[in-house]
């Protein structure tokens, strides 16, 4: 294992494996790279991606074969070695697993191989080593994020550490994120061949889009939840022509394709009383509401806090709403999605900015009958500040990963769209200020792209008032305010009936398949979503009365990255409790402040609030297993424990309880699958 890499090429020499890695990562190949599998994934992926040698996984050069015939039982060989590698990284005292060590030695010895020789397949031994290392490192990261339990019995500490690194840097790799990012992955495209086809748990990205990965256990406590009820409020229910206003003095270039800037300021006020009465009506139909979704620019920024307080009283754990801000005097306003998750009595907040302005040309002005407010001969751009490209991934319970985007961002095939396809989240929610969400319109076309590749479900929601204003010549009236598309059941238009104020959409969780073009056996350990039912909701008449319940503090006790870190360690502890209780103490020691691994990865010590929360997780687990008890014993302690007045402690114990309940529910699903003859994810 002490092979010294060949010198990096000169500035004029042909690129090699070593020189490419030095250029991309800023460091040379060393044995220490093996101590962090995501870095090995980045190395192998960079070379295979740059050379297009990934194609050899399905079309090897003449006389060659993949997977290697010498590795009989390819899938089991890779998963077993990856699990051993995971365990080794936690305390790398001896040598790594033999397959990892031998393959790494082969690559180091060939570090001076020119990339052209890899691209043409002439350096087949190097191609084999790269494929092997990519598969091993990918499999080693199973379960870090965006995956249901792959039934691994080791690597709990590694997954906790990786989750904390991801929360702090937006990457699983220890290479600086301004150079590259390694991210969790949910779905792999079922057809075609690209670099994305070669992994099922990780993806490799450049740096053109900032990334934040969040974990927040938004689930109804005490339920074996395999279904969620989402309340769609397609508001404003009425949009007037005068709601669209040109900014004074904004029209430019009057002599040649004049353009101007408009703002959307709806006259219809946001009605919290109506929200409550619709919630009461919805709860007459279903047993609970898990999330509320509102369209683009539907909620004034100053109404978010009272809205969240109301939702918390009715047990709603998630809010996804388009926010509008008044136009400030010296700059343009933002257009963004507010995502709020209610955990442990607090609302955690996430902001996803819109990246592309809405553009109204003459045809759209006529379609929406706005000519009295916006001159048809002027090209009108939305009054919106264009922010730096960034994407927020929100991982909820049961491996469900959600991304929210605004209107135009669904349609633009830019770096953000590429990132979404690489990661393959469970669901993309697109909120709009648009016409009817028909199967024949643009939103359905772009939703179909994501549903086909990588297999992501897509929900779009627009304002009923805009649907009513949309009357293209010759087109019949429509009441379709939302559209759902998933890779299993296809497209569904969702209408708002006359007199209704909202729609409850029941969404069922399904086991979705992960594939990989390198020959590994497909596994059903991703989370898919399908629509199980749609119900029209009418607000109840009169005063529904105040429902007693928690107000839900706006502004959490922990920042979003801190909540993600606590969730990662709670999941690691719950996983160890289930599979290998004698390793729980080591997991908890890594979670606590002062653990040396943070210094080794260049991470800071936890803040005071985070330290309190992590200590609460560790102490609670220790207190629930005085005699080496199981996860059920810890869960029983949590279910009977009195509420703690310390906000970080309350939040941490709520997160831990959610992690334990989630694993209990997954066990029940696996048991049912075995009874029905189903397989187990590996």
pLDDT above 60 for 617: yes
**3-class state of residue 539 by DSSP:** coil
Q: Give the tokens for residue 174.
A: 């220890």
Question: For residue 434, what are the contacts with CB-CB under 8 A and spacing of at least 6?
Answer: 407, 443, 462, 466, 470
Task: Tell me the C-alpha distance between 619 and 621, whole Å.
Answer: 5
pLDDT of residue 674: 61
Could you give the CA distance from residue 281 to residue 289 in angstroms, rounded to a whole number? 11
- Long-range own/partner contacts, residues 411-419 (CB < 8 A, 24 or more apart): 411/356, 411/442, 411/443, 411/446, 412/355, 412/356, 414/355, 414/389, 415/208, 415/209, 415/389, 416/209, 416/355, 416/389, 416/391, 419/205, 419/209, 419/211, 419/391
Residue labelled with tokens 């007459």: 284
Instruction: State the burial class of residue 581 (Cβ atoms within 10 Å of its Cβ: 0-12, 13-18, 19+).
Output: middle
pLDDT score for 677: 58
DSSP 290: -
Q: Measuring CA to CA, which residue among 145, 140, 143 is closest to residue 167?
A: 145
The single residue listed with the structure tokens 């959409």 is 505
pLDDT for 400 equals: 92
The pLDDT tens digits for 246-268 are 999 899 887 778 999 999 999 98
Lowest mean pLDDT among 46-50, 211-215, 429-433, 520-524: 520-524
In the block, tokens 């399904």 appear at 510
Average pLDDT, the chain: 90
With contact defined as beta carbons under 8 Å apart, do 437 and 460 qualify? yes
What DSSP character marks residue 114?
A: B
* Residues 232, 483: Cα–Cα separation, whole Å: 11
Q: Which pLDDT does position 6 carry in this prediction? A: 45
Residue with more model confidence, 474 or 654: 654
State the angle between helix axes of 156-169 and 74-90 in degrees (0 to 180), rounded to the nearest 10: 80
Q: Is the pTM of this model over 0.95?
A: no
Percent of the chain with pLDDT over 70: 92
DSSP of 368-420 = TT-TTTS-TTSEEEE----PPPEEEEEE-GGG-EEEEEETHHHH--SHHHHHH
d(CA 356, CA 348): 26
Is 283 in contact with 535 (CB distance < 8 Å)? no
Tens of pLDDT along 394-451?
999 888 999 999 988 888 878 999 999 999 999 999 999 999 999 999 999 999 999 9
- Helices and strands in the chain, H and E counts: 20, 21
Q: What is the DSSP letter of 60?
A: P
CA 539, 544, 550: angle at the middle one, nearest 5? 110
The 8 Å CB, 24+ separation contacts for 273-276 are 274/501, 274/539, 275/233, 275/307, 275/310, 276/310, 276/314, 276/544
Q: Give the 3-state secondary structure of residue 211.
A: strand
Whole-number Å distance between alpha carbons of 273 and 275: 5
User: Does the pLDDT of residue 348 top 90, yes or no?
Assistant: yes
If you write DSSP's letter for every residue of 514-537 in order, what string do you get? E--TTSPPPEEEEEEEEEEEEEEE
Average pLDDT over every residue of 71-75: 92
pLDDT, tens digit, 9 for 90 and up, residues 542-580: 877 666 555 555 557 899 999 999 999 999 999 999 888
Q: Give 11's pLDDT tier (boundaries 50, 70, 90).
A: low
- What the block records as the tokens of 413 is 């095939």
Question: What pLDDT is recorded for position 649?
Answer: 92
CB 262 within 8 Å of CB 245: yes
Does the structure show a pLDDT above 50 at 8? no
pLDDT of 146-184, one tens digit each?
776 666 788 999 999 999 999 999 999 999 999 999 999
> Is 94 or 104 the better-scoring residue by pLDDT?
104
Comparing 4-18, 518-532, 617-631, the range with the smallest average pLDDT is 4-18
Question: Does residue 490 sit in helix, strand or coil?
Answer: strand
Answer whether residue 1 shows pLDDT above 60.
no
- Residue 80 per-residue DSSP state: H
**What tokens does 623 get?**
């207190």
The backbone torsions φ and ψ at residue 340, rounded to the nearest 5 degrees and listed phi first, read -120, 135
Specify the pLDDT at position 502: 98
For the chain, domains (ranges, CATH) are 17-149+156-215 (no CATH), 227-537 (3.60.110.10), 559-675 (no CATH)
pLDDT tens-place string over residues 17-38 = 999 999 999 999 999 999 999 9
At residue 665, what are phi and psi to the nearest 5 degrees?
A: -65, -40
Residues 104-112, mean pLDDT to the nearest whole number: 97
Contact 244, 550 (CB under 8 A): no
At residue 223, the pLDDT reads 53
Q: What is the pLDDT of residue 675?
A: 64
DSSP 16: B
Inform me whether the pLDDT recorded for 5 exceeds 90: no
User: Would you say residue 487 has pLDDT above 60?
Assistant: yes
pLDDT score recorded for residue 92: 84
* Long-range contacts of 68-72, Cβ-Cβ distance < 8 Å, separation of 24 or more: 68/128, 68/132
Q: By percentage, how much of the chain surpasses pLDDT 90?
A: 75
């Amino acid at each position: 294992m002490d092979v010294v890499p060949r010198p990096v090429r000169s500035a004029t020499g042909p690129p090699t494996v070593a020189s490419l890695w030095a250029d991309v990562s800023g460091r040379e190949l060393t044995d220490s790279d093996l101590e962090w599998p995501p870095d090995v994934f980045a190395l192998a992926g960079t070379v295979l991606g740059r050379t297009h040698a990934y194609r050899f996984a399905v079309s090897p050069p003449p006389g060659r074969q993949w997977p290697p015939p010498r590795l009989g039982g390819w899938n089991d060989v890779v998963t077993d070695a990856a699990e051993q590698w995971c365990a080794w990284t936690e305390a790398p005292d001896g040598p790594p697993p033999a397959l990892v060590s031998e393959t790494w030695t082969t690559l180091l010895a060939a570090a001076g191989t020119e990339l052209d020789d890899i691209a043409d397949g002439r350096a087949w031994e190097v191609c084999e080593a790269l494929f092997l290392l990519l598969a091993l490192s990918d499999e080693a990261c199973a379960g870090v994020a965006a995956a249901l339990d792959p039934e691994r019995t080791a690597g709990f500490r590694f997954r906790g550490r990786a989750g904390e690194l991801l929360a702090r840097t937006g990457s699983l790799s220890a290479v600086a994120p301004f150079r590259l990012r390694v991210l969790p992955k949910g779905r792999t495209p079922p057809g075609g061949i690209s670099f994305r086809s070669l992994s099922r748990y990780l993806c490799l990205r450049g740096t053109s889009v900032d990334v934040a990965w969040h974990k927040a256990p938004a689930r109804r406590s005490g339920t074996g939840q395999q279904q969620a009820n989402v309340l769609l409020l397609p508001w404003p229910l009425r949009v007037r022509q005068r709601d669209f206003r040109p900014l004074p003095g904004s029209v430019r270039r009057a002599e040649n394709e004049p353009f101007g800037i408009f703002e959307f300021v709806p006259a219809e006020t946001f009605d919290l009383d109506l929200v409550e009465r619709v919630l009461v009506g919805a709860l007459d139909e279903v047993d609970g509401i898990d999330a509320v979704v509102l369209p683009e620019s539907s909620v004034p920024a100053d109404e978010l806090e009272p809205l969240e307080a109301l939702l918390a009283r009715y047990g709603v754990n998630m809010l996804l709403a388009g926010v509008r801000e008044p136009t400030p005097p010296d700059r343009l306003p933002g257009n963004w999605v507010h995502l709020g998750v209610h955990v442990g009595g607090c609302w955690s907040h996430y902001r996803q900015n819109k990246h592309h302005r809405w553009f109204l040309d003459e045809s759209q002005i006529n379609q929406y009958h706005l000519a009295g407010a916006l001159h048809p001969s002027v090209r009108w751009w939305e009054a919106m500040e264009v922010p730096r490209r960034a994407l927020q991934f929100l991982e909820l319970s049961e491996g469900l990963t959600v991304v929210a985007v605004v209107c135009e961002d669904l349609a633009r095939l830019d770096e953000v769209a590429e990132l979404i396809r690489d990661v393959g989240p469970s669901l993309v929610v697109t909120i709009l200020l648009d016409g009817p969400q028909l199967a024949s319109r643009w939103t359905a076309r772009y939703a179909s792209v994501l549903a086909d590749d990588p297999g992501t479900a897509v929900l779009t929601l627009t304002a009923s008032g805009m649907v009513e204003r949309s009357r293209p010549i010759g087109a019949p009236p429509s009441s379709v305010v939302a559209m759902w598309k998933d890779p299993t059941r296809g497209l569904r238009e969702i209408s708002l009936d006359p007199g209704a104020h909202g729609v409850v959409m029941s969404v069922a969780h399904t086991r979705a398949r992960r594939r990989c073009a390198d020959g590994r056996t497909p596994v059903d350990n991703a989370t898919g979503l399908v629509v199980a039912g749609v119900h029209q909701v009418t607000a109840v008449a009169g005063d529904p009365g105040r429902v007693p319940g928690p107000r839900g503090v706006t502004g959490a006790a922990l920042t979003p990255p801190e909540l993600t870190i606590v969730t990662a360690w709670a999941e690691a502890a719950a996983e160890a409790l289930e599979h290998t209780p004698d390793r729980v103490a080591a997991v908890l020691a890594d979670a606590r402040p002062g653990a040396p691994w943070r210094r080794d990865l260049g991470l800071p010590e936890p803040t005071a609030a985070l330290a309190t929360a992590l200590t609460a997780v560790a102490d609670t687990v220790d207190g629930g297993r005085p005699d080496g008890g199981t996860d059920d014993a810890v869960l029983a302690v949590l279910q009977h424990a009195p509420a703690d007045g310390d906000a970080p402690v309350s939040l941490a114990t709520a997160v831990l309880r959610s992690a334990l309940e989630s694993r209990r529910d997954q066990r029940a699903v696996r048991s049912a699958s075995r009874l029905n003859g189903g397989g187990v994810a590996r």
